[in-house]
């Protein structure tokens, strides 16, 4: 087995479940953009940074037995989860590969589309990854991308000082690790350099209260990640407790409003 690569929040069952919740929150928007991008029966699609495969399995059902999904993921543990779930659902049109998008060859050519969600924001060389993914597509193939555009939009109203401190710490730590939380701002320039013509762009941001399912995505992460930071020695436990308490208080307040981190959706065609 390929040696497991480290992930920010790990690759254990709790993280698999959290990513599953995240995908369920975003699934209506994802299915819609895939349809608008032309992904359909018989398509060959690259799922880049597939994680435990929640999107890969949806793609496999859409493209059907005549299509194929190439799930590329650096975590061997996540690939094990994906392979097991594909087998359980009788999906034999998913080809999985354990690899690093930055440092290793992707091994796919002639695909109709690639799907990328919250990957470029974390890699050390997003332009290189876009170039490599462009090479997986046939001429006229499409890139379908969801990446953060304005992470500072993430907030709870009325604004809570603990949540604002938490957001600032996360963004600063993210950039210190070599990522860029607002990578979406660079994509309109990066994609043409990688050989793409942008077909559509739109921002996605929501304002929701705690009775809305979307709330569970950022609020759940806000109650989990501070504890991880404390366990990693990056923050004091008391600071993490204060942040978690702020999210829990918002959960209990029917008038609190959560503004989600703004995401940029792009569909682009390989020239």
> Does residue 181 form part of some domain?
yes
Residue 215 inside a domain? The answer is yes
pLDDT confidence of residue 254 = 95
Q: Give the count of beta carbons closer than 10 Å to the beta carbon of residue 84.
A: 12
Q: For residue 22, give the nearest of 192, 214, 169, 269 by alpha carbon.
A: 214
Is 8 contained in some domain?
no
pLDDT for 70: 98
The pTM for the full model equals 0.92
Asked if the structure places residue 259 within a domain, the reply is: yes
pLDDT category of residue 217 using cuts at 50, 70 and 90: very high
Is residue 5 in a domain?
no
The b/e string for 145-184 (b: 16+ C-beta within 10 A; e otherwise) is bbbbbbbebbbbeeebebbeebbebbbeebeeeebbbbbb
Q: Is residue 6 part of a domain?
A: no
Query: How distant, in Å, are the alpha carbons of 102, 104, 177, 218 from that of 99?
Result: 9, 6, 20, 28
116-129: per-residue pLDDT in tens?
999 999 999 999 99
Rg (CA), the chain: 19
Instruction: Check: CB of residue 270 under 8 Å from CB of residue 134.
Output: yes
The answer to whether residue 7 sits within a structural domain is no
User: Is residue 131 a contact partner of residue 194, using CB atoms and an 8 Å limit?
Assistant: yes
Q: Is the peptide bond preceding residue 158 cis, with omega within 30 degrees of 0?
A: yes
CATH number of the domain within which 102 lies: 3.40.50.150
**Per-residue model confidence as pLDDT tens digits over 233-245:** 999 999 999 999 9
Domain span holding position 88:
13-270
Average pLDDT, the chain: 94
| Pairing outcome for strands 196-204 and 262-270 | antiparallel
Residue 256 placed within a domain: yes
Q: Among residues of the chain, what percentage have pLDDT more than 90?
A: 90
- Please tell me the total count of domains within the chain: 1
Distance CA 244, CA 263 (A): 24
Express each pLDDT in 22-65 by its tens digit.
899 999 999 999 999 999 999 999 999 999 999 999 999 999 99
| pLDDT classification of 140: cutoffs 50, 70, 90 | very high
In which band, very low, low, confident or very high, does the pLDDT at 5 lie, cut at 50, 70 and 90?
Answer: very low
Interval 77-91 mean pLDDT: 95
């Amino acid at each position: 087995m390929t040696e497991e690569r480290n992930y920010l929040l790990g690759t254990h069952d709790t993280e698999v479940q959290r990513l599953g919740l995240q995908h369920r929150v975003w699934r209506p928007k994802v299915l819609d953009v895939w349809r608008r991008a032309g992904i359909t029966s018989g398509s060959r699609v690259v799922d880049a940074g597939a994680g435990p495969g929640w999107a890969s399995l949806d793609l496999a059902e859409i493209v059907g037995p005549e299509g194929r999904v190439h799930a590329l993921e650096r975590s061997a543990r996540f690939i094990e989860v994906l392979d097991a779930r594909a087998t359980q659902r009788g999906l034999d049109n998913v080809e999985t590969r354990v690899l690093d998008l930055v440092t290793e060859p992707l091994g796919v050519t002639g695909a109709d589309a690639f799907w990328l969600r919250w990957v470029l924001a974390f890699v050390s060389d997003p332009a290189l990854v876009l170039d490599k993914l462009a090479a997986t597509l046939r001429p006229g193939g499409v890139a379908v991308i969801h990446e953060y555009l304005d992470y500072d939009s993430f907030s709870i109203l009325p604004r809570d000082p603990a949540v604002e401190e938490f957001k600032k710490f996360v963004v600063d730590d993210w950039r210190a690790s070599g990522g860029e939380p607002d990578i979406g701002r660079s994509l309109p320039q990066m994609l043409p350099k990688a050989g793409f013509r942008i077909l559509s762009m739109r921002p996605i941001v929501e304002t929701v209260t705690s009775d809305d399912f979307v709330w569970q995505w950022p609020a759940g992460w806000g109650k989990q990640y501070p504890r991880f930071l404390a366990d990693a020695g990056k923050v004091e436990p008391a600071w993490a407790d204060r942040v978690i308490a702020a999210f829990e208080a918002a959960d209990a307040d029917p008038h609190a409003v959560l503004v989600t981190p703004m995401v940029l959706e792009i569909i682009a065609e390989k020239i």
